[in-house]
C-alpha cells in the first residue's frame, strides 16, 4: 500500500511540474533541505553574500553571520528568461529591510530585450543603520528583503533573509579596592626606615 501511495505521489509531482509547458522550476537550499517551486517564463533569484564563507547564499539566519551597525551587506539579483520568447521590457524592484540603507546599486531598474535563456545579474549593496536606529529592546533583528520582476503578465519574486546585531559593549575591569601589594610594600618600607631612624637617635643617647 505504501508503495502505491509513493508511486501516486511521484506521478502527481511530475504531472504538476510538467502541466505547464512554459513553466520552470527553481530550487533553493532552505533550512531542512532543498525546496523547489514552479515558476513561469520569468524567474528572479535573490541571494546574499556570506562574509564568513565568501559565497552567495539564499538566506543568513539568526544562527549565521549577523551584520554589525555600519557593516556592508552585498546582495545579488539574477533575472532569467526561462521562456521561449524575448521579453521586451522587464521591470525589477527591490525592497530592503528597515535596518538597511542603500549604499550602491539601484532598487528599481528595467531590463530590455531579455532573450530566451538569458540571465541578467545586478548587485546591490547596503549598510546596517547606526546602533541608535535599531530597536532598543532587541539585540538581534532579522528580516527578509523582497525582489520582484515583472514583464507584462509574467511575474516572479524571491526573498533573502539577513540579521543585524548590536555591538557587544566591552567589559571594563576596575582595579580592586583597598591596599594593593605595591602599596603595602611601600608602607612597610617607610615604617622600617622610620624605625631605623628612631633606633639610631636612641643609641646616640
Query: Is residue 155 domain-resident?
Result: yes
Domain-located, residue 62: yes
DSSP string, 130-175: PGGGS-TT-SEEEEEEEEEEEETTEEEEEEEEEEEEPPPPPPPPPP
What integer pLDDT is reported at residue 167 of this predicted model? 81
Percent of the chain with pLDDT over 70: 62
Q: Residue 165: pLDDT above 60?
A: yes
pLDDT for 17: 43
pLDDT band of residue 147 (cuts 50, 70, 90) is: very high
What CATH number should be reported for the domain holding residue 99? 2.60.40.740
**Cα distance between residue 92 and residue 107, in whole Å:** 8
Please compute the mean of the pLDDT values over residues 181-201 and round it to a whole number: 59
Domain membership of residue 31 (yes or no) is: no
β-pairing verdict for 42-50 and 55-57? antiparallel
| Position 17 in a domain | no
Expressed as residue numbers, the domain containing 109 is 41-165
- State mean pLDDT over 90-99: 96
Query: What is the number of domains present in the chain?
Result: 1
Residue 101 lies in a domain: yes
- pLDDT classification of 119: cutoffs 50, 70, 90: very high
128, part of any domain: yes
Q: How many Å is the maximal CA-CA distance in the chain?
A: 121
Evaluate whether residue 179 is within a structural domain.
no
Closest by CA position to 142, among listed 28, 65, 44: 65
89-112 average pLDDT score: 96
In a domain, 141, yes or no: yes
Task: Give the mean pLDDT of the chain.
Answer: 79
Phi-psi region of 36 (alpha: psi -120 to 50; beta: other; left: phi over 0): beta
Instruction: Provide the 3-class DSSP secondary structure of residue 196.
Output: helix
Amino acid at each position: 500500500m505504501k508503495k502505491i501511495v509513493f508511486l501516486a505521489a511521484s506521478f502527481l509531482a511530475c504531472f504538476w511540474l510538467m502541466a505547464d509547458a512554459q513553466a520552470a522550476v527553481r530550487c533553493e537550499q532552505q533550512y531542512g533541505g532543498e525546496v523547489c517551486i514552479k515558476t513561469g517564463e520569468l524567474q528572479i533569484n535573490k541571494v546574499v553574500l556570506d562574509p564568513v564563507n565568501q559565497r552567495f547564499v539564499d538566506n543568513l539566519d539568526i544562527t549565521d553571520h549577523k551584520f554589525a551597525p555600519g557593516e556592508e551587506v552585498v546582495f545579488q539579483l539574477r533575472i532569467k528568461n526561462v521562456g521561449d520568447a524575448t521579453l521586451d521590457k522587464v521591470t525589477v524592484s527591490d525592497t530592503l529591510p528597515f535596518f538597511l540603507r542603500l549604499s550602491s546599486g539601484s532598487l528599481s531598474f528595467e531590463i530590455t530585450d531579455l532573450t530566451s535563456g538569458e540571465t541578467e545579474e545586478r548587485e546591490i549593496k547596503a549598510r546596517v543603520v547606526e546602533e541608535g536606529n535599531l530597536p532598543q529592546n532587541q539585540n538581534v533583528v532579522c528580516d527578509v528583503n523582497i525582489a520582484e520582476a515583472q514583464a507584462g503578465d509574467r511575474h516572479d519574486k524571491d526573498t533573502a533573509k539577513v540579521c543585524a546585531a548590536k555591538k557587544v559593549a566591552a567589559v571594563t575591569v576596575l582595579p580592586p579596592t583597598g591596599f594593593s601589594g605595591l602599596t603595602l610594600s611601600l608602607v612597610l618600607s617607610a615604617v622600617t626606615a622610620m624605625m631605623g631612624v628612631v633606633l639610631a637617635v636612641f643609641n646616640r643617647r
